[in-house]
Structure 1
Amino acid sequence: MSSVAEKLARKSSSSARTPQAKQVRLKLVYVDFWSAVKLSFLVMVALGIVLIVGSFLVWMVLAQTGIFDTLSGLYGEISGEDSFSITEIFGLGQVLGIALVLAILNIIVGTVLGAIATVLYNLSVRITGGVLVGFANQ
């Protein structure tokens, strides 16, 4: 005859085994147009902010390390002009202005491309049947 302790020990050792992983397979047959447009817009806004901040940081590093002065001196030696300054052309305001214009263009183009990709995917689902996506619980 088994004691209660032996039954509990057997039960705890059998429950220590890992249970089978549950798998679910789903087909992605439709992407909501407005959700995809909003997501692509937000991603492009984030990338636009990264572009502006990155441009500012690169300009600051170049200005602090003296690269602009070195390039101005090199151009002055080659061309014979003594009063040339590269920061007159590539000043912080000009660089950030160009970065802002590029960021706005990227936001517009990226959002439109996200919308086009969504429409193309929703049209291609009629032919292909969608994408099979598998999930596993581990």
Structure 2
Amino acid sequence: MPSRGSKQKKRATMRLVYIDFWSALKMSFLVSIIVAAITVVIGLLIWSALERFGLVAAASNFLEDIAGAQGADLVAGLTFPNVMTFTLVVALLEVIVVSALGAIFAALFNLAVHVVGGWKVTFGSD
């Protein structure tokens, strides 16, 4: 009867030689949607914190004291709608760029596999 310590470890070695282009595009799109939502939420939280602590008004008063009306004009455009519009534009661009990068990575991987022979992956139970 074999003892508990002499259990054999099972391992399976495989090579990843192809990434489906459309699957990579869909997966990177889903990841980018999640990251975009997090970006919008973080933008909203940062704006709320800055507004609650009065840092936007303090910056406006500080710049007005230093540069007069021109200093106040620098912060005049820093409103909630403008900040959220900027955040949404950044999130939209992020969705486009991350989705494209996922697809490009899959295409480059599929081209590189012909040169290097794939990516060796080992699965095992320890």
The equivalent of 2:31 in structure 1 is 43
Picking from 114, 118, 126, the partner of 1:130 is 118
Picking from 34, 39, 50, the partner of 1:62 is 50
Cα displacement (A) at 1:82: 9.5
Task: Work out whether 1:73 is the aligned partner of 2:69.
Answer: no
Q: Deviations over 1:53-77 (max 9, x none)?
A: 0000001000001111111111111
Structure 1: 5+ residue runs without aligned partners? 1-10
What SS does the aligned partner of 1:104 have? Answer: helix
What SS does the aligned partner of 2:69 have? Answer: coil
Asked if the contact 1:36–1:115 (Cα under 8 Å) also holds between the matched residues in 2, the reply is: yes
User: When the two structures are superposed, what TM-score results if normalisation uses the length of structure 1?
Assistant: 0.84
Asked if the contact 1:24–1:135 (Cα under 8 Å) also holds between the matched residues in 2, the reply is: yes
Task: Work out the CA distance in 2 between the residues paired with 1:45 and 1:18.
Answer: 48
Asked if the contact 2:59–2:75 (Cα under 8 Å) also holds between the matched residues in 1, the reply is: no
Cα displacement (A) at 1:79: 1.2
Moved over 3 A (4+): 82-88
Cα displacement (A) at 1:18: 4.8
How do 1:1-138 and structure 2 match up within 5 A? 11=1, 14-81=2-69, 84=72, 88-138=76-126
Matched residue type, 2:15: K
Asked if the contact 1:71–1:86 (Cα under 8 Å) also holds between the matched residues in 2, the reply is: no
